[in-house]
Amino acid sequence: MPISVTMPRLSDTMEAGTIVRWNVKEGDEVTSGQVVADIETDKATMEMPVFDDGRIAKLLVPAGQSVKVGTQIAVIAEEGEDLSVAASGGGVAAPKAVPAAKPAPAPVPVASAPAAKSADEDETVTVGGQRIRVSPVARRMAEEAGIPLSSLKGSGPGGRIIKRDVQTAMENASARPAVPFAQVAAPAAQALAVPVAPATTRVSGGLVMAGLESERVAVSGMRQTIARRLVESKTTIPHYQVSMRFELDRLMAMREQLNTELAETGIKLSVNDFIVRGCALAMARHPYVNASWAGDAIAVHKQVNVGVAVALDESKGGGLVVAVIRDADRKSLRTISSEAKTLGEKARTRGLSAEDMADSTFTVSNLGMFGVEHFTAIINPPNSAILACGAALKQPVVRNDELTIGFEMTATLSSDHRVIDGAMAARWLKELKGLLENPATLLV
């Protein structure tokens, strides 16, 4: 009997997947556990194994096509089964391609309308706490024209916003006379030239310069997810930043000594390994930094799982993934270093699994290897904080009231003010400073 292979759900938020590459062709033998395709999800590119033995009877979805989770993408013939029979007799139907993702809210069921209404079914969106009924065509037109739905009055059945309402608003906007600059500028600035905005063309989700020659590059599903999550994070989480400078003379000396002693084992500790270990211990001592905002409560997590941001090569679509080191407060530097290297390599080559990226309670983002001295990072929901680490720079410093040469690093903690107030962030950074400046405490 033919075996159906469907698009798997490889992450908790995955709704569709793109087949980046098939690693088999029709007629090939496969065994349980064999990786047959690379799938791009909303988070990363991951390997897809099969769970049955047999031969590939038919590949239903070509490489490069996106289909919804659960869609049949291949057929496997069991041992002794005729390939052509399996390919044609397995209830195979050609899958429908998933259209390009739009930043629009998911349709919400609404009350049934008269049978004579158009094919455009109502959508209900929430703007500023107000539920607004709008047709998909009207919503797209409003987005492209930059017209807030909350500013429109619907003339359709039940106050529904329809295409005509958006067109009227666009005509009114174009017909409205421009306000003379002299009426709105301060008298002292009347003699100044008014800057002329460059001509732009509105496209879905943004603007482009009309006079520039540009190349449109398709956005991967992962990049779309990154964009959506970062905008959501920055607009819904009240960020604030606190920075502190760390003296790393002892840490750098200890790292050099440990790496010399561990050279034969192939282990090489990085500065980031010490930072991850220090963050984990500091979080265990300050539980609210290891917490999430839960609306009417604060969820203080029992596990300390530190996420490490990993940048992907542009040849693989770029982007950023977060590999998670679980129970980091209970692991040695050697274990943290080994896991971080394994996960980093896996992220850049085969892709991380959903489990590799799940359940982080805090994130470390380090650009020090690029020579960056200071930056701020955006919180990775549902975390309440992220630490942005700059380079450990050898420079002139003051030690014991004397000018000398030493290592210093600046780190900036971005926090969710709903969970972590300023004093709490400062105490946590002070705890981390004590751990990193006395690195022997990280070994026990």
Point out the residues that are catalytic.
417
Peptide bond into 382 cis (omega under 30): yes
Q: Which tokens hold the place of 378?
A: 């955006």
Q: Which residues pair with 201 in a beta bridge?
A: 208
* C-alpha triplet 185, 190, 194: angle, nearest 5°: 80
Locate 412 and state its tokens: 């900036």
Task: Decide the pairing of beta strands 29-30 and 16-22.
Answer: unpaired
Beta strands 306-311 and 362-366, pairing class: parallel
Burial code of 365-378, b = ≥16 C-beta within 10 A, e = fewer? bbbbeeeeeeeebb
Output the CA–CA distances (angstroms, integers) from residue 119 to 7, 113, 137, 319, 323, in the order listed. 29, 11, 10, 38, 44
SS3 405: strand
State the Cα angle at 221 between 217 and 222, rounded to 5°: 100
Q: Report yes or no: 357 and 43 within 8 Å, Cβ to Cβ.
A: yes
Tokens of 265: 């084992």
CB neighbours of residue 212 within 10 Å = 10
* Residue matched to tokens 């979805």: 61
CB distance 242 to 425 below 8 Å = yes
Quote the DSSP letter at residue 157.
G
